[in-house]
Amino acid sequence: MTDPQTPILETRNICKAFGALKASQDISLDLRAGEIHALIGPNGAGKSTLIAQIAGGLKPDSGSVHLNGRDVTALPTAKRAQRGLGRTFQVSALAMEDTVLQNAVLGALGAQGRPFRLFQSALGNAGLRQVAEQALERVGLQDHARSRTAELSHGQRRQLEVAVALTLNPKAFVMDEPMAGLGASGSKALTGFLDSLREQAPILMVEHDMDAVFALADRISVLVYGQIIATGSVAEIRAHPEVRRAYLGEDA
Amino acid sequence: MTRETLINSALALALLLVPLWAYAMDEPFIITLATKVAILALAGVGLNIALGLGGLVSLGHAAFFGIGGYAMGILASHAQSYTAITDWPVLIEGTKSMPVIWLVALLASGLAALLIGALSLRTSGVYFIMITLAFGQMFYYFAISWAAYGGEDGLSIYVRNSFPGLNTLDPIQFFAITFVLLLAALLFSARLAKSPFGLALNAARQSPQRVETIGLSPYRLRLVAFVISGMITGLAGALFADLNRFVSPTMFSWQTSGEIMVFIILGGTARLFGPVAGAALFIILEHILGGLSEFWHIYLGLLLLLVVLFAKGGVIGTLAGREKAHD
């Protein structure tokens, strides 16, 4: 068994610059088993750049990314996914013309890792289908399995994003603004769901919705101008003078 | 049965019944036209896997069509002149046997698709269109300058190649061969679209980011699709050369690539029977309008414009409506 204090996901001294703009400056953060770690910061702080480097879309100039104790810095997105990184996007990245079930089966197919079967039926494959249906049930989309993804509401697409990530049975989730565009009730429902998800795998999430962050996060890291200025519990971050000045505003 | 299945069955039946009727009426020319439709539709079925399912706008599929044609031309010309293709390191002789020619055409076009695809799939969008076009043109000019196999004049084959148990010189029997191969390719294509591979390829077209995030490589999926696509178009090329008993660099020209794409757009992109409807419409128009004017392509262009602007689903899409989501 892994030591609960061993980070599942970790960045070590990541630096990334675009010309003169230092988007990531010596960023080290970790995600431990069973926790939700929220990454907050004002617009343009470099959150998306950091997430892209963790998920594999961008290569850091220096520093490394570790998943389950193994250095994955050199691996492309697909290989990191195979090693257990489940990711959801700020703007839903789904096969919109396909049905909800097909999207979930696609995730199961990725997890299984044998896509070059030309003659079998994808939806007729009991193994793939079971994984997909379980994931849909988990997020509460089982009744929409046969709907076209493009016909789903915004909130349902968010749920489907999570369901597809679930089919991978990931070791860690990386979620880019899961609450974005959700109304108050949708946001509340997803908060409840994510709360139960952390038992399965820890979640690193970028989020602007402070109610959700304060309700969910075990730890919060604050990113400002490419630097982590503070990491700590909700209470610590609320009380942190620099954070209050940079982000929350004096009266927070 | 969905409406689209009904339309597809009607199309397949029509393509079978028209030449049978022509056979009864002793109209061999009509049978030849139907054969041409079947072969060009087969080329389109090949391209449709890359274009429709994979979203890969290849303007270089003439390369595979031509390779298939030259596979037939080279093998048959050596067989008819009783000369070996090479005697070192091993003796390779020509052949007049269709199944062997098909196999060579499939392998050669598959290999070419692997090389072309491996390079061009690193690009996307307009660059992909341009690089596939460039590869097609390379083959075109290579064929023109290849004097050993006729250069610009191409190669004529005096007698159609043979198929065990059939008289291929009889138009209706040759039609039967092409029709069966077309049906086989359609069946394969239909299964492919529903397979795990088809699902992943189709998703890579819609959202490559998603496919990467679940641990699959869009590049590899597309490369396999491109190879399969090129092989089917290559097989069609071998049959087309056999139909005309003639192969020339024209098969490699970019106009050929464009025509194969036109079949798909006219018939309905990503629709199983799109290439069949498109090729049939193309040949009918060529036959009717071509008799009226040398410049019948003007009308084809107009029709294409109308389809692109007002009927994006092509013939099949207009008749069958929106594609049903799989259950």
Contacts of A55 in chain B (CB under 8 A): 213
Considering only alpha carbons, which residue of chain A is nearest residue B194?
A121
Domain B3-19+28-320, what fold? ABC transporter involved in vitamin B12 uptake, BtuC (1.10.3470)
pLDDT 10s digits, A111-134: 999 999 999 999 999 999 999 999
Residue of B191, B194, B199 best to disrupt the A interface, most CBs of A under 10 A: B199
Minimum distance, in Å, between the CA of residue B259 and any CA atom of chain A: 27
pLDDT 10s digits, A91-114: 889 999 999 999 999 999 999 999
Q: Are A60 and A179 within one domain?
A: yes
Q: What are the backbone dihedrals phi and psi of residue B208, each rounded to the nearest 5 degrees, phi first?
A: -60, -35
Q: Are A38 and A162 within one domain?
A: no
Q: Are A104 and A75 within one domain?
A: no
**Which residue among A94, A97, A115 places its CB closest to the CB of B196?**
A115
Domain final residue pick, A118, A146, A168: A168
d(CA A139, CA A161): 10
- Residue A89 falls inside a structural domain: no
For chains A and B, count residue pairs whose Cβ atoms are closer than 8 Å.
Answer: 121
Strand order in the sheet with A203-206: A85-88, A172-176, A203-206, A36-40, A219-224, A227-232
Among A40, A49, A45, residue whose Cα is nearest residue A15: A49
Q: Are A192 and A77 within one domain?
A: yes
| Percentage of chain B modeled with pLDDT above 90 | 92
Segment holding A193, helix H or strand E:
helix A184-197
- Whether residue B197 has pLDDT greater than 80: yes
Q: Are A163 and A177 within one domain?
A: no
Positive/negative CA dihedral, B185, B186, B192, B195: negative
Contacts of B326 in chain A (CB under 8 A): 98-99, 102, 123
- Residue A116 falls inside a structural domain: yes
Contact status, residue A104 vs residue A160, Cβ threshold 8 Å: yes
Considering only alpha carbons, which residue of chain A is nearest residue B205?
A95
Q: Residue B139, Cβ neighbours under 10 Å: how many?
A: 23
Q: Are A66 and A51 within one domain?
A: yes
Considering only alpha carbons, which residue of chain A is nearest residue B191?
A119
Considering only alpha carbons, which residue of chain A is nearest residue B215?
A78
d(CA B194, CA B196): 7
Q: Are A113 and A230 within one domain?
A: no
Q: Please report the pLDDT score of residue A244 as a whole number.
A: 81
Residues 6+ apart with CB under 8 A from A124: none
Report domain extents, chain B. Answer: 3-19+28-320
For residue A189, name the pLDDT band (cuts at 50, 70, 90).
confident
Domain final residue pick, A145, A168, A191: A168
Residue type, B214: I
Subunit contact B214:A94, Cβ cutoff 8 A:
no
Q: Please report the pLDDT score of residue A252 as a whole number.
A: 43
Among A177, A172, A131, residue whose Cα is nearest residue A157: A177
Subunit contact A168:B215, Cβ cutoff 8 A:
yes
Among B255, B232, B183, residue whose Cα is nearest residue B64: B232
Q: Are A9 and A123 within one domain?
A: no
- Whether residue A193 has pLDDT greater than 60: yes
Mean residue pLDDT of chain A comes to 91
Q: Please report the pLDDT score of residue A241 as a whole number.
A: 87
pLDDT 10s digits, B141-169: 999 999 999 999 999 999 999 999 999 99
Contact status, residue A179 vs residue A209, Cβ threshold 8 Å: yes
Burial of A232 (0-12, 13-18, 19+ CB in 10 A): middle
For residue A246, name the pLDDT band (cuts at 50, 70, 90).
confident
Contact status, residue B26 vs residue B34, Cβ threshold 8 Å: no
**ipTM (interface predicted TM):** 0.91
d(CA B204, CA B121): 13
Among A166, A221, A219, A186, residue whose Cα is nearest residue A51: A221
Q: Are A80 and A174 within one domain?
A: yes
- Residue A236 falls inside a structural domain: yes
Q: Please report the pLDDT score of residue B193 as a whole number.
A: 96
Q: Are A3 and A80 within one domain?
A: yes
- Three-state SS for A230? strand
Contact status, residue A203 vs residue A34, Cβ threshold 8 Å: no
Number of domains composing chain A: 2
* B211 vs A: CB within 8 A: yes
Q: What are the backbone dihedrals phi and psi of residue B85, each rounded to the nearest 5 degrees, phi first?
A: -70, -45
Q: Please report the pLDDT score of residue A186 as a whole number.
A: 84
Among B25, B23, B21, residue whose Cα is nearest residue B13: B21
Contacts of A113 in chain B (CB under 8 A): 215-216
Q: Please report the pLDDT score of residue B322 as a whole number.
A: 78
Rounded mean pLDDT of B88-103? 93
For residue B291, name the pLDDT band (cuts at 50, 70, 90).
confident
DSSP annotation string for A30-73: EEETT-EEEEE--TTSSHHHHHHHHHTSS--SEEEEEETTEE-T
Contact status, residue A217 vs residue A36, Cβ threshold 8 Å: yes
Positive/negative CA dihedral, B145, B147, B153, B157: negative
Contact status, residue A92 vs residue A73, Cβ threshold 8 Å: no
Considering only alpha carbons, which residue of chain A is nearest residue B216?
A78
**Which residue among A97, A165, A168 places its CB closest to the CB of B206?**
A97
Tell me which residues of chain B, numbers 133 to 192, contact chain A at a CB-CB cutoff of 8 Å: 191-192
* Tokens (6 digits) for A14: 């990541």
Subunit contact A89:B209, Cβ cutoff 8 A:
yes
B110-122: b or e for each residue (b if 16 or more CB lie within 10 Å)? Answer: bebbbebbeebbe
- Token pair 């709360």: residue: A195
**Which residue among B198, B212, B224 places its CB closest to the CB of A77?**
B212
Considering only alpha carbons, which residue of chain B is nearest residue A80?
B215
Q: Please report the pLDDT score of residue A234 as a whole number.
A: 93
Q: Are A164 and A183 within one domain?
A: no
Q: Which CATH number covers residue A5?
A: 3.40.50.300
- Three-state SS for A185? helix
* Tokens (6 digits) for A167: 């089919």
| Domain ranges, residue A147 | 94-168
For residue A1, name the pLDDT band (cuts at 50, 70, 90).
very low
- Whether residue A26 has pLDDT greater than 50: yes
Q: Are A144 and A175 within one domain?
A: no
* B322 vs A: CB within 8 A: no
d(CA B8, CA A224): 60
pLDDT 10s digits, B33-86: 999 999 999 999 999 999 999 999 999 999 999 999 999 999 999 999 999 998
Minimum distance, in Å, between the CA of residue B307 and any CA atom of chain A: 21
pTM of the model: 0.94
Q: Please report the pLDDT score of residue A180 as a whole number.
A: 86
